[in-house]
Amino acid sequence: MARDKVTVIGAGNVGATTAQRIAEAGLADVVLVDIVEGLPQGKGLDLAEAAPVVGHDARLIGTNDYAATAGSDVIVVTSGLARQPGMSRDDLLAKNAGIVNAVVEASAAQSPNAVLVIVTNPLDAMCHVAMQASGFPRERVLGMAGVLDSARFRTFIAEELGVSVADTSAFVLGGHGDTMVPLPRYSTVAGIPITDLLPEDRIAALVERTANGGAEIVALLKSGSAYYAPSASAFEMVDAILRDRHRVLPCAVFLKGEYGVDGLFVGVPVVLGRAGMERIIEITLTDDERRAFAASAAAVQELVDKLPH
Ligand SMILES: NC(=O)c1ccc[n+]([C@@H]2O[C@H](COP(=O)([O-])OP(=O)(O)OC[C@H]3O[C@@H](n4cnc5c(N)ncnc54)[C@H](O)[C@@H]3O)[C@@H](O)[C@H]2O)c1
């Protein structure tokens, strides 16, 4: 049986680290693609030369040519620009929409049965671009954000309570970033809701730190943004898909009436397996949660409305 194949587009920080995680886990062969000549080839070769030491035998190559990506089972899209000084959010939206459109069109043509995992920001809007550019059904277009937001929330819960992150779980809904909707009543330590373990003001502080998790890292790094936790999160989704694990993970998916939202990518818990999104898990929200979720969806809609048509 041939080993699975994953294409990672964008050989920058998130893309190269995702490729490394996939190969080192022996999960799949990896084709790393970038628009910059030499960059994916160099990183691909460097990663391949680590294999004898690390002890995996996945094949890793870098290329600027989409022909090499043909027949991929999963395509991870991390290509894009970071916001530069003087660039407005709308400029960035238009630039990254152009990039995601081009790379998804090129890669989907080579791998018409692949599952797309979108990472490029602004995440939820880029998922729309990817679905349109690929023509794939919604089951095979997934956005990575909720896994990362949950990981950050779990890290802060564990730190606050002095417990292992292994015993924490977090439940996060909504768009990526400021308007995400963490659900403390479903966020637990060994099954105990954190609402039973922490006072309201502490939970609010952890929630706020989670919502600003990306900005906190950017402020510390000064240039560049987070990539260790983002690549770990993208890896977790790829692993759930390729190993058909039926993991329940928060992902951005195209809602068709679920959670009262129609025709928009928003983060919700889904079951992930070989075919991509197997189903959406819908829970009843409280009035406050419903309001926060609607505000989050409205923020995504605002970005989608600004996408170039
Ligand atoms: N969804 C999330 O939770 C999350 C988390 C972290 C980062 N991100 C996003 O992921 C993206 C990548 O972040 P990064 O830190 O790796 O950035 P980076 O600048 O290190 O890498 C981006 C890479 O994309 C490449 N690229 C640009 N245009 C391309 C094209 N047309 N075709 C192929 N490659 C192209 C660039 O050459 C570069 O190597 C950003 O948009 C970032 O905001 C999202």
- % of the chain at pLDDT higher than 90: 90
* Ligand 1 nearest-atom number relative to CA 36: 37
Report the amino acid identity of residue 16: A
Helix, strand, coil percent content, the chain, rounded in steps of 5: 50, 20, 30
Q: Residue 26 is encoded by which pair of tokens?
A: 């022996």
Q: What is the pLDDT of residue 308?
A: 79
CA 300 to chain centroid, in Å, comes to: 16
For residue 63, the cross-strand partners are 33
User: Ligand 1 centre from 97 Cα, in Å?
Assistant: 12
Beta strands in 148-306 (DSSP E): 168-169, 172-173, 181-182, 188-189, 192-193, 247-256, 262-273, 276-280
Give nearest CA residue, ligand 1 atom 10.
120
Q: What is the pLDDT of residue 86?
A: 73
Q: What is the pLDDT of residue 89?
A: 75
Q: What is the pLDDT of residue 87?
A: 75
Q: What is the pLDDT of residue 84?
A: 73
For residue 181, the cross-strand partners are 173
Q: What is the pLDDT of residue 71?
A: 98
Q: What is the pLDDT of residue 179?
A: 84
Pocket of ligand 1 (CB under 6 A): 9-15, 33-36, 39, 78-80, 82, 99, 102-103, 119-121, 123, 144-145, 148, 176, 225-227, 230
Q: Choose one of 41, 119, 152 to mutate for the ligand 1 pocket test, by most ligand atoms within 8 angstroms of C-beta.
A: 119
Q: Choose one of 20, 32, 34, 216 to mutate for the ligand 1 pocket test, by most ligand atoms within 8 angstroms of C-beta.
A: 34
For residue 30, the cross-strand partners are 6, 60
Q: What is the pLDDT of residue 286?
A: 93
Residues of the chain with pLDDT under 70: none
Instruction: Give this prediction's pTM.
Output: 0.97
Q: What is the pLDDT of residue 88?
A: 76
Q: What is the pLDDT of residue 2?
A: 85
Give nearest CA residue, ligand 1 atom 24.
79
Q: What is the pLDDT of residue 92?
A: 87
Q: For strands 172-173 and 141-143, give the pairing.
A: unpaired
